[in-house]
Chains A and B, each alone.
Chain A
């Protein structure tokens, strides 16, 4: 194409990455073994957990925020009649709570890596960039799960103590787990993108909510039927959980493939 010539060509950044690792390989004697991928993963994950254990920054802010969202729910439902049963909409409310809270945590998960150029430091290490993705996503899963363990009993206490929960309510753990993994996976990819943009907080919400919609839809369906019970409950629960799991697998695989491009950009 003749018209393309004057447009500036983007310089590939992948060769520089391999150059760094090649330089590192020549500098260090071959006697020192490179740590295994799993060990790199463990170190990166441990770093995030240790940081959280020392500052308690994420868990406090996410926990307080979740309680505030519960207050907003309470206010929204306050004018309903005294006998109003929250149970049919409980699944939806729980997922609204999780989505909002996760947005807060995801925003933070990369913003502190920008301070003191911490991310550049990690990038200098000759490792597979996807490991950074997996470690960060795992940390986000763990934080979200801790917040869920604290806030969901609170949700029951505040909204559902008068309702007759179905015997199958324990099954709700399955969509909660599958959904949390998917949210953390897609969210980590998007948080890496938005941390380098103007107005990162808003942008993450704008990209994250539509992208996570299918997962949200399936998880709300599965959680609701698990709480409500009924004979044909499995007819909805099964496909919903299966599709949510399929979303997890596809999206995390794609995120994993794209991550190297994104973090190197």
Chain B
């Protein structure tokens, strides 16, 4: 009986690790994108890491249905979006302020020039102030470079609406940049 149990155990763990390997091969190319979207929405590094982990666990729990999804990456991003929006709703009242404080420590690489880092942080803050929808679309298009079909799938919106939101986001960022720039000169 114990031999039989051992045999079953061996078969089971083998099976799982194979599944795990397949799962990881799907997830590895996407996990940085998940993390960056979470970071864009939640601002804090820790929160984004937790969110990434949660999303991967959610995906893990649905790994058996992977073959039914045409685009796993888009599916993963949708889950990330929904999870982060839920988190934001939960934290809407108090914690969001605290998260924002940890923003400074976000850009850690010391080797990058301080000036560039400053500009990037400041741009990050501009993007931060965009409405959530625009923020996400900007992230997906201009940083992750998804095509409009994928963004439509992730955001569950039609392409025209996405283009409009994206256009607004780009204009808003540029306007603020120009304002700041002129202010610096004058």
A and B found bound together = no
Question: Which residues from chain B sit less than 8 Å from chain A, CB to CB?
Answer: none
